[in-house]
Amino acid sequence: MNIVAEVTAQKVSWSNWAGNQRVEHASGYLPKTELELQQIVRHATANNLRIKAVGSGHSFTAIALAEEILVDLSHYDQVVEIDKIKNTVTVQSGIQLSKLNLELHKNGLAMQNLGDISYQTIAGAISTSTHGTGLKFTGIANQVVGMRIVLADSSAVDCSLEVNAELFHCARVGLGALGLISTVTLQLVSAFNLSVIEEPMRVDDVLANLDHHVESNDHFEFFWVPHTGWALTKRNNRTLDAAKPMSKFSHWYSKTLMENYAFGAVCMLGRARPALIPKLAKALPSSGRNEYCDASYKVFASKRIIKFYEMEYAIPREACEEALNRVRRMVKDSGFFLNFPVEVRFTAPDEIPLSTASNRESAYIAVHIYKGMNYVPYFKEVESIMNSYQGRPHWGKLHFQDANSLAPRYPQWDVFQKVRNLVDPTRTFANRYTETVLGK
Ligand SMILES: Cc1cc2nc3c(=O)[nH]c(=O)nc-3n(C[C@H](O)[C@H](O)[C@H](O)COP(=O)(O)OP(=O)(O)OC[C@H]3O[C@@H](n4cnc5c(N)ncnc54)[C@H](O)[C@@H]3O)c2cc1C
């Protein structure tokens, strides 16, 4: 009997956004219903095949690489229910945050916090512990209040704080290793505006007043520009003021031309002639001051047209100044030519076992390199600095850790492993990446 009668596979190739992870000839499925998700899992376990769901492919690591069965959830992307009494939304796991944000805004609702972009799917974002910035706010996974997951035995189970609590606890940041997430329920807030000030500051001044910036703004972040003493700062604060967006021209000039095309041209020139990078970097901080006010989802998420590779580490917040200064010294002493800023953000702790902010207030330091350039030496130097702060790498961004080095950095590591052994003893949802970072 063909148990996947309704959903049929096609041989597919796939690559991630950055183009550094690819797979050829996987068996690709495009399910539209939960029943189809269950059928795919049943087919996989019956034939001893491994499954990987892919979201929008915005992870830089091989976390979403499907070695045998690839489940593309782009046709499983509907809003199931909005509950205006509880301020929650239930969505199918393949919905992109950009589509979700628009639906929520139409209903006077919003997600509590977001990262820099909204191309990700909800399941992809939570599975890697995707986060934004703001000391009073956590990553996206901690906004989840319920999930429905198709497990390796093909059952679809609900989980929340009340039902299957241990599974819920772990599956919010599950690295795609516990099952196929079918639906996600998020706790929302009423739609809100953010008042924004973006301006360059001396990086020494930012660091000297770091606690003040981080504690007195709802969402503070900065980008240190290597080879300069400058940082581009962003202070976003929640406000009841009416939106006063940038004019269309200013928005295009600042966000599309300067942050993407002009920056891309500078990166391309720097890749061809690295020695020019320090001079080119001096032009970046002159991008000036912007002040505006707009709907939260429009402010949080930006366009990202220029392709790059990225590594990001979560470290205890109190180590941020020292760690960044060590990165600055290393860059000065190393002779690296770096054409991308170093991004620094902050979040509150949560209690999710494999969240990068698990049980500690966190600073995030992210380094980037333009696509096509060798990232390994620079990222390894940064990683060795982050190791001395028990740094936790973003699960979707490049790093060189394995299960042995990671286990001591997560107080609830064993809780996750116990749940994994219980729900996926035959490792239907594993791939080489999860074997490396979680063990076989
Ligand atoms: C330009 C750019 C900007 C970024 N900005 C930020 C940022 O501001 N903050 C931040 O923290 N990160 C950021 N990231 C990283 C990104 O948020 C994560 O890598 C995220 O996981 C990508 O989501 P995705 O939908 O593309 O998932 P994918 O990368 O496709 O998949 C990620 C994981 O989710 C699993 N998965 C997907 N769907 C399911 C499902 N239904 N069931 C089970 N598992 C599933 C996959 O198997 C995989 O393990 C950025 C990445 C890029 C390229």
Structural domain boundaries in the chain: 79-190, 193-400
Hey, what's the torsion of the CAs at 91, 24, 52, 297, to 10 degrees? -30
Query: Residue 250 carries which side chain, given as an amino acid letter?
Result: S
- Looking at per-residue pLDDT, the higher value among 286 and 98 belongs to 98
Per the listing, tokens 């239930």 go with: 90
Say if ligand 1 is within 6 A of residue 100 CB. Answer: no
| Among protein residues, the one whose CA lies closest to atom 5 of ligand 1 | 116
Average of pLDDT values for 121-146?
A: 98
Say if ligand 1 is within 6 A of residue 391 CB. Answer: no
Contact 305, 378 (CB under 8 A): no
Say if ligand 1 is within 6 A of residue 115 CB. Answer: yes
Q: Which of these ranges, 79-88, 154-163, 275-284, 312-321, has the smallest mean pLDDT?
A: 275-284
Q: In whole angstroms, how far apart are CA 240 and each of 20, 100, 192, 195, 366?
A: 43, 22, 7, 9, 32
Q: Which residues contact 344 (CB under 8 A, 6 or more apart)?
A: 221, 222, 223, 224, 320, 324, 363, 364, 365, 366
Say if ligand 1 is within 6 A of residue 355 CB. Answer: no
Contact 72, 29 (CB under 8 A): yes
Count of CB atoms within 10 A of residue 346's CB? 27
Q: In whole angstroms, how far apart are CA 394 and each of 59, 76, 219, 416?
A: 10, 26, 20, 17
Say if ligand 1 is within 6 A of residue 55 CB. Answer: yes
Q: What percent of the chain has pLDDT over 90?
A: 84
As a whole number of angstroms, the distance between CA 309 and CA 380 comes to 13
CATH topology of domain 193-400: Vanillyl-alcohol Oxidase; Chain A, domain 3 (3.40.462)
Say if ligand 1 is within 6 A of residue 123 CB. Answer: yes
> Ligand 1: which of 119, 127, 370, 433 to mutate, judged by most atoms within 8 Å of the beta carbon?
127
Contact 101, 111 (CB under 8 A): yes
Distance from residue 401's CA to the centre of ligand 1 (Å): 19
Q: What is the mean pLDDT of the chain?
A: 93
Per the listing, tokens 């205006």 go with: 84
| Degrees to nearest 5, angle at CA 17 with 168 and 440 | 45
> Ligand 1: which of 23, 100, 120 to mutate, judged by most atoms within 8 Å of the beta carbon?
120
Count of CB atoms within 10 A of residue 185's CB? 21
Average of pLDDT values for 418-426?
A: 98
Angle between helices 376-387 and 320-334 (to 10 degrees): 150
Q: Where are the alpha helices (DSSP H) in 335-389?
A: 376-387
Please state whether beta strands 88-92 and 180-187 pair in parallel, antiparallel, or not at all (unpaired).
antiparallel
What SS3 class is residue 219?
strand
Contact 391, 366 (CB under 8 A): no
Per-position DSSP letters for 8-26, written without gaps between them: --EEEEEE-TTSS-EEEEE
| Among protein residues, the one whose CA lies closest to atom 32 of ligand 1 | 124
pLDDT in tens, 344-367: 999 999 999 999 999 999 999 999
| Degrees to nearest 5, angle at CA 174 with 376 and 24 | 55
Under the banding of pLDDT at 50, 70 and 90, the label for residue 8 is: confident
> Ligand 1: which of 15, 38, 54 to mutate, judged by most atoms within 8 Å of the beta carbon?
54
Paired tokens of 198? 């973006």
Q: What percent of the chain has pLDDT over 70?
A: 90
Answer whether residue 2 shows pLDDT above 50.
no
Distance of CA 428 to the CA centre of its chain: 24
Handedness of CA 17, 18, 21, 24 (dihedral sign): positive
Distance from residue 274's CA to the centre of ligand 1 (Å): 30
As a whole number of angstroms, the distance between CA 415 and CA 411 comes to 9
What SS3 class is residue 314?
strand
As a whole number of angstroms, the distance between CA 236 and CA 113 comes to 11
Q: Which residues contact 273 (CB under 8 A, 6 or more apart)?
A: none
| Among protein residues, the one whose CA lies closest to atom 13 of ligand 1 | 130
Q: Where are the alpha helices (DSSP H) in 217-303?
A: 248-251, 263-272, 277-281, 296-300
Say if ligand 1 is within 6 A of residue 307 CB. Answer: no
Q: In whole angstroms, how far apart are CA 141 and each of 130, 183, 342?
A: 7, 13, 24
**What is the pLDDT, as a whole number, of residue 289?**
87
Per-position DSSP letters for 77-106, written without gaps between them: --EEEEETTTTEEEEETT-BHHHHHHHHHH
Say if ligand 1 is within 6 A of residue 396 CB. Answer: yes
CATH number, domain 79-190: 3.30.465.10
pLDDT in tens, 20-77: 999 999 999 999 999 999 999 999 999 999 999 999 999 999 999 999 999 999 999 9
| Among protein residues, the one whose CA lies closest to atom 37 of ligand 1 | 124
pLDDT in tens, 160-197: 999 999 999 999 999 999 999 999 999 999 999 999 99
Contact 156, 367 (CB under 8 A): no
Say whether 193-400 and 79-190 share the same fold: no
Say if ligand 1 is within 6 A of residue 73 CB. Answer: yes
User: Which residues partner with 237 through β-bridges?
Assistant: 195
**What is the pLDDT, as a whole number, of residue 284?**
62
| Among protein residues, the one whose CA lies closest to atom 7 of ligand 1 | 115
**Kind plus residue range of the DSSP H or E element containing 68:** none
As a whole number of angstroms, the distance between CA 206 and CA 321 comes to 9
> Ligand 1: which of 50, 128, 144 to mutate, judged by most atoms within 8 Å of the beta carbon?
128
Distance from residue 258's CA to the centre of ligand 1 (Å): 26
Say if ligand 1 is within 6 A of residue 219 CB. Answer: no
pLDDT in tens, 313-324: 999 999 999 999
Q: Which of these ranges, 12-21, 278-287, 357-366, has the smallest mean pLDDT?
A: 278-287
Say if ligand 1 is within 6 A of residue 63 CB. Answer: yes
Which ligand 1 atom is at minimum distance from the Cα of 54?
A: 30
pLDDT in tens, 358-398: 999 999 999 999 998 899 999 999 999 999 999 999 999 99
Task: Please provide the distance, in angstroms rounded to a whole number, between the alpha carbons at the two ends of the chain.
Answer: 32
Count of CB atoms within 10 A of residue 247's CB? 9
| Among protein residues, the one whose CA lies closest to atom 40 of ligand 1 | 181
What SS3 class is residue 416?
helix
As a whole number of angstroms, the distance between CA 62 and CA 44 comes to 20
Answer whether residue 339 shows pLDDT above 90.
no
